[in-house]
Amino acid sequence: MMTPSAVRDYLRERGSAPLSDVALHFDAGEDAVRAALDLWIGKGRVRALTDGAGCSKAGTCGCTCKAEEIFEWIGERRLAG
């Protein structure tokens, strides 16, 4: 079940993850995941990054390529074990 706390724990353990990976992990829509991540962004625990590895023509070619949204945990890291 995806809750803001579960998303927090997932990012804490991984350090960072693309939005699509988080959504896949929780079997949830990207909009729902983004809402949970926005909560942590507002608390200063997560920051959004953009991977520029989308389309080499920077979106001018008319394709559906887009840069991947990556979210990084910047709060305290949880140590495994």
Digit-coded pLDDT (tens) for 25-45: 999 999 999 999 999 999 999
User: Which residues constitute the domain of residue 28?
Assistant: 4-73
Q: Is residue 80 part of a domain?
A: no
Work out the number of other CB atoms within 10 angstroms of the CB of residue 78: 11
Q: Which letter, b or e, does each residue of 46-70 get, where b requires 16 or more Cβ atoms within 10 Å of its Cβ?
A: beeeeeeeeeeeeeeeeeeeeeebb
The Cα angle at residue 59 between residues 55 and 64, in degrees rounded to 5 = 75
CATH of residue 43: 1.10.10.10
pLDDT in tens, 43-55: 999 999 876 555 5
- Measured between alpha carbons, how far is 9 from 56 in angstroms, rounded to an integer? 34
Q: Is residue 56 part of a domain?
A: yes
Total number of domains constituting the chain: 1
Phi, psi values for residue 64, rounded to 5°: -95, 10
Q: Is residue 27 part of a domain?
A: yes
